[in-house]
A and B are shown apart, each in its own frame.
Chain A
Amino acid sequence: MNRRAFLRTTGVALGALALSGVPALAQGLEGEDLANLEKALKEVLGKSFKDLTPSNLIKLTMPAIAESGANVPAEVEVNLPPGQVKAIHLFADKNPTPYLVGFMPMKALPYYATRVRLAETSAIRAVVETADGKLLLASASTRVTVGGCG
């Protein structure tokens, strides 16, 4: 391999690395509160935040800015075969009760849509329990102008 070909292939590999995965990592998200989230994770799943694997198989759709925190649409879609997904959980870091919902798709496709209350600007987590016991994570952040929990 000559120098030019080497540079080209490594360049492509680095570019692919930068595109995949890295934005899914929970870094610099607005409204993060890991201490509050950790408590809820322990209660619901018995796991801590470190046990979750960020995954780009989960598509979590949240608005960037919500006018009213009392009614925020949330949508989760998992790109896995139906039998693979055991449960989908949603958490909001900054809510007094971070656990939003648990969904068990038995015969349904791994998709869930709902409307939730957000107390303030918060990071939203979608945690997916797969049939082989893995926990996948997707995060999003919603800025709230009027809170909806008080």
Chain B
Amino acid sequence: MAIRTIVRLTPAKPKAGETFKLQVVAQHPNEPGTRKDAEGKTIPANYINLVEIYFEGEKVAEARPGPSTSANPLYGFMFKAEKAGTFTVKLKDLSGDTGEGTTKLELA
């Protein structure tokens, strides 16, 4: 099952040379492996442990979140606007599910 991934830029159209934020929100329960269900059994851990950002096919940033990330997590990154192109965000969780989201960077 694919993880639903939303990618957004703030500001949406940065000027050349300006810094902008790339925000990623994923729809994922991010089970830390310490929570228990109604019968007292431990819910197995299943969290996103790899976030990769690609710009025009080149890897520009990587984050490795641990189990203590909240449900439906947000990941924020900051870049400097140089040229227009496409950002691709790839996510992976412990069960092997992947998520992918893209957004276009346009310069104002």
Q: A96 with B34: in contact, given A108-B53, A116-B68 (CB under 8 Å)?
A: yes
Is the pair B68, A97 in contact by a Cβ cutoff of 8 Å?
yes
Interface string of A95-106 (1 = CB under 8 A from B): 111011111111
Q: How far is the CB of A59 from chain B (nearest CB, A)?
A: 12
Tell whether B12 is near chain A: CB-to-CB under 8 Å: no
Q: Residues of B contacting A148 with CB < 8 Å? A: 70
Q: How far is the CB of B67 from chain A (nearest CB, A)?
A: 5
Is the pair A108, B60 in contact by a Cβ cutoff of 8 Å?
yes
Q: Residues of B contacting A118 with CB < 8 Å? A: 68
Tell whether B35 is near chain A: CB-to-CB under 8 Å: yes
Q: Residues of A contacting B75 with CB < 8 Å? A: 112-114
Is the pair A109, B78 in contact by a Cβ cutoff of 8 Å?
yes
Q: How far is the CB of A41 from chain B (nearest CB, A)?
A: 13
Tell whether A145 is near chain B: CB-to-CB under 8 Å: no
Tell whether A39 is near chain B: CB-to-CB under 8 Å: no
Interface size for A (C-beta < 8 A) is 33
Closest to A107 in B: B60
Select which of B21, B58, B70, B78 is within 8 A of A116 by beta carbon. B70
Residues facing A in B12-40 (CB within 8 A) are: 19, 21, 23, 32, 34-36
Bound: A16/B65 CA distance, A: 38
Is the pair B32, A97 in contact by a Cβ cutoff of 8 Å?
yes
Tell whether B74 is near chain A: CB-to-CB under 8 Å: yes
Q: How far is the CB of A148 from chain B (nearest CB, A)?
A: 7
Tell whether A72 is near chain B: CB-to-CB under 8 Å: yes
Is the pair A92, B69 in contact by a Cβ cutoff of 8 Å?
no
Which residues of B come within 8 Å of A, CB atoms? 19, 21, 23, 32, 34-36, 53, 55, 58-71, 73-80
Which residues of A come within 8 Å of B, CB atoms? 70-73, 75, 82, 92, 95-97, 99-109, 111-119, 148-150
